[in-house]
């Protein structure tokens, strides 16, 4: 069944060279409104470059990028307005160390959206409450944990009311607890506010929760599908030297030894259920 939802982003034959180095070699990808997608692929495969092109932090060498059906490469694009609709969170915390948490969240509202201080602060406090950091409003970033810093960064992006949020390994520097808090936040934004999320990550527990996965290798998209579809192709993923969820690997090993398990088992719970189903047939 084809999904009738509108495409927020459509990438067509996208190319990017750095000098003679071809980093994106013709990428086609469509992300629908309200989707949460993950991009995976070996280091150096072009994931960050792809996302940086979406936000025009890099200028593509060829191809096109449509945002709600309109090319963002057109000459008369208003870059500031576009970037407001398109939030970006990076691996390294992009906070101003010399500003308090509250000021970090209000700065976009005040400088870009020209919203008066009092109103911006009211909005920022609501957002800090949502990310569970109300009590840290007057603190400076150096006093926060990594997970807290990323949640402040996300609150700053949310303040701008983006339609789409792009996250480049936002949890790479975090401990498991911090990772969880950031991903919960992103999920909440996606499910409750309908914000489209594009996430680069190599953590399998984050990957298997996506609506769809895009797999990149050497500047090209080589696989695309739901987590179940993508992780049904264990051999192909191994060839690409990509991680696979532990339960998927175990199920694959068992299959190879003749145990009739279905493809695309993603977690322990599914594996246990399938094994119990087999036992009940014995
Ligand atoms: P990934 O995020 O998948 O690890 P990147 O998009 O960061 O991959 O990088 C893809 C390739 O492009 C790498 O070989 C990297 O060295 C190169 N690259 C990225 N940015 C630049 C740049 N600004 N100048 C030159 N080469 C770059
Ligand atoms: Mg990268």
- With b meaning 16 or more CB within 10 Å and e meaning fewer, what string describes 84-111? bebbbbbbebebeeeebbbbbbbbbbbe
Cα 110 to averaged position of ligand 2 atoms, centre (Å): 30
Q: Retrieve residue 253's tokens.
A: 């090993």
Cα 187 to averaged position of ligand 2 atoms, centre (Å): 21
Is the pLDDT at 202 greater than 60? The verdict is: yes
Cα 39 to averaged position of ligand 2 atoms, centre (Å): 10
Strand order from edge to edge, sheet including 196-200: 86-89, 164-168, 196-200, 36-40, 212-217, 220-225
Range of lowest pLDDT (53-62, 90-99, 254-263): 90-99
CA geometry: angle 201, 194, 13, nearest 5 deg: 55
- For a mutational test of ligand 1's pocket, the pick from 15, 16, 22, 48, i.e. the residue with the most ligand atoms closer than 8 A to its C-beta, is 48
| φ, ψ for residue 15, nearest 5 deg | -125, 145
Average pLDDT over residues 38-63: 95
**Do the beta carbons of residue 251 and residue 271 sit within 8 Å?**
yes
Which residues, judged by CB distance below 6 Å to any ligand atom, belong to the binding site of ligand 1? 18, 21, 23, 41, 43-49
Is the pLDDT at 278 greater than 70? The verdict is: yes
Q: What is the pLDDT of residue 2?
A: 62
* Confidence bin at 3 (pLDDT 50/70/90): low
DSSP 16-85: EEETTEEEEEEEEEEEETT-EEEEE--TTSSHHHHHHHHTTSS--SEEEEEETTEETTSTT--HHHHHHT
Q: What is the pLDDT of residue 193?
A: 87
CA geometry: angle 24, 203, 170, nearest 5 deg: 70
Is the pLDDT at 150 greater than 90? The verdict is: no
CA geometry: angle 106, 88, 90, nearest 5 deg: 100
Q: What is the pLDDT of residue 87?
A: 79
Looking at ligand 1, which atom is closest to the CA of residue 168?
A: 2
Cβ atoms within 10 Å of 60's Cβ, excluding its own: 23
Cα 188 to averaged position of ligand 2 atoms, centre (Å): 24
Looking at residue 143, the DSSP 8-state letter turns out to be G
Q: What is the pLDDT of residue 89?
A: 77
3-state secondary structure of 261: coil
Based on C-alpha coordinates, what's the Rg of the chain?
21
Q: Which ligand neighbours the alpha carbon of 91 most closely?
A: 2
Q: What is the pLDDT of residue 257?
A: 96
Q: What is the pLDDT of residue 248?
A: 96
pLDDT, tens only, 211-239: 999 999 999 999 999 999 999 999 999 99
């Amino acid at each position: 069944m084809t999904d009738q939802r509108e495409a927020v982003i459509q990438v067509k034959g996208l190319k990017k060279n750095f000098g003679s180095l071809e980093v994106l070699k013709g990428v086609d990808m469509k992300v629908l409104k309200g989707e949460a997608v993950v991009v995976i692929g070996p280091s150096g495969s072009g994931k960050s470059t792809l996302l940086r092109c979406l936000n025009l932090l890099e200028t593509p060498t060829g191809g096109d990028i449509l945002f709600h059906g309109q090319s963002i490469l057109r000459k008369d694009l208003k870059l500031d307005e576009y970037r407001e609709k398109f939030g970006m969170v990076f691996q390294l915390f992009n906070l101003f160390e010399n500003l308090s948490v509250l000021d970090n969240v209000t700065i976009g509202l005040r400088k870009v959206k020209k919203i008066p201080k009092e109103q911006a602060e009211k909005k920022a406090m609501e957002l800090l409450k949502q990310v569970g950091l109300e009590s840290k409003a007057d603190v400076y970033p150096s006093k926060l944990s990594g997970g807290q810093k990323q949640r402040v960064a996300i609150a700053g992006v949310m303040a701008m009311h983006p339609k789409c949020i792009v996250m480049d390994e936002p949890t790479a520097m975090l401990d498991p607890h911090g990772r969880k808090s950031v991903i919960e936040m992103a999920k909440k934004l996606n499910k409750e506010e309908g914000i489209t999320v594009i996430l680069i990550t190599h953590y399998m527990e984050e990957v298997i929760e996506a609506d769809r996965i895009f797999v990149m290798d050497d500047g090209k998209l080589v696989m695309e599908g739901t987590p179940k579809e993508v992780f049904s192709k264990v051999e192909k993923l191994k060839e690409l030297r990509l991680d696979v969820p532990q339960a998927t690997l175990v199920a694959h090993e068992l299959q190879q030894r003749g145990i009739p398990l279905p493809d695309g088992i993603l977690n322990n719970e599914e594996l246990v259920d399938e094994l119990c189903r087999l036992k009940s047939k014995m």
